[in-house]
Structure 1
Amino acid sequence: MLDYIIVFSSSLLAATIAPFYSEVVLAAALIRQPDAALLLWLLASVGNTLGSIINWWLGKYLLHYRHKRWFPIKEKQLARAQAGFQRFGVWSLLLAWAPVGGDALTFIAGIMKVRLLPFTLLVFIGKATRYAVVLYFADRFLL
């Protein structure tokens, strides 16, 4: 049971702005519980997607404070990120799993007020695919 909580929590944390790598935790849990691969995949995918929803929410609601001095993103950076998101559209959320830029993408989606349902579906598909690949390689090379 503790492995499940750790996989879920690490996946959720890894999707927020906190620097954390849940793939290692997932692979370690798979080694300890190889028969639970499907449940581990689901927990990691859901946890990571929920972390992205936190980023989306932060982007959506923190935008109200963009003119404050403490706001973490400068106006030029924000405009550039919004232009990039508009250029590639909502489908770019399939890349929210990427280690570089994926978390920022989910934050920008909140700023762009992407509807929660398509956001969640696209992010889940990308993240679930990534965790399936991680489990495949962990099973192939570690077990």
Structure 2
Amino acid sequence: MGDWWRPMSWWSEENALWVLFASAFVSSTLLPGSSEGVLVAAALSGFTPIHLLWVATLGNTLGGLTNWWIGWWIATRYPARRLVRPEQEKALFRVRRYGWPVLLLSWLPVIGDPLCLAAGWLRINFWLSALAIAIGKAARYAVLLWLVPFGG
């Protein structure tokens, strides 16, 4: 692949891991972002796949748990019966119906963040939520890394 993935001298493994962590965290909150591009760029640059997997999973999981905590906090101020947006109602319905295992899908675009928020809102067990979120997000990153040709 050459060095075209390393346009700047600061793209060391340590810096790349911090950039990946930040990107994974932000993209897993309600803010827009995409950590997949950073992950693939780091993988194509020859960085250690297991480090990339751990860092991306940790950042993305903490972002998902941030949504869980936001949901928990909002629930103390706004009861669930006051929801008005259809996507909020759908997320609450899914979490009520399937419980914490639905958080295995927290990696999905568009619906993943509201699922985490709804789980916090409904006071789904924090540790089971964290486990399901981490497994789902790790599986997504593992598949993505498996698809990337390594060799720098």
Classify the TM-score, shorter chain.
Answer: 0.7 to 0.9
Whose Rg is larger? 2
Q: Distance in 1 between matches of 2:76 and 2:18?
A: 34
| 2:92 counterpart residue number | 82
Q: Distance in 1 between matches of 2:39 and 2:73?
A: 31
Q: Does 1:13 align with 2:26?
A: yes
| 1:23 counterpart residue number | 36
Aligned residues: 136
Q: Could you tell me which amino acid in structure 1 is paired with residue 56 of structure 2?
A: A
Q: 1:100: how far off?
A: 2.2
Q: 1:97 aligns with which of 102, 107, 124?
A: 107
* Secondary structure, aligned partner of 2:149: helix
Q: 1:116 aligns with which of 126, 129, 140?
A: 126
Q: 1:64: how far off?
A: 2.2
Q: Does 1:54 align with 2:54?
A: no
Q: 1:134 aligns with which of 123, 134, 144?
A: 144
In structure 1, stretches of 5+ residues that fail to align are 68-73
* Secondary structure, aligned partner of 1:9: helix
In structure 2, stretches of 5+ residues that fail to align are 1-13
* Secondary structure, aligned partner of 1:110: helix
Q: Distance in 2 between matches of 1:120 and 1:66?
A: 23
Q: 1:126: how far off?
A: 0.4
What is the TM-score of this pair, normalised by structure 1? 0.86
* 1:24-46 CA-partner distances (Å, limit 9, x unpaired): 10000111234x11001100001
Kindly report the root-mean-square deviation, in angstroms, between the aligned alpha carbons of the 2 structures: 2.0
Q: Distance in 2 between matches of 1:79 and 1:101?
A: 12
What is the TM-score of this pair, normalised by structure 2? 0.82
Q: Distance in 2 between matches of 1:61 and 1:138?
A: 39
More helix by share: 1
Q: Distance in 1 between matches of 2:20 and 2:148?
A: 15
Q: 1:87: how far off?
A: 1.3
Q: Could you tell me which amino acid in structure 1 is paired with residue 83 of structure 2?
A: E
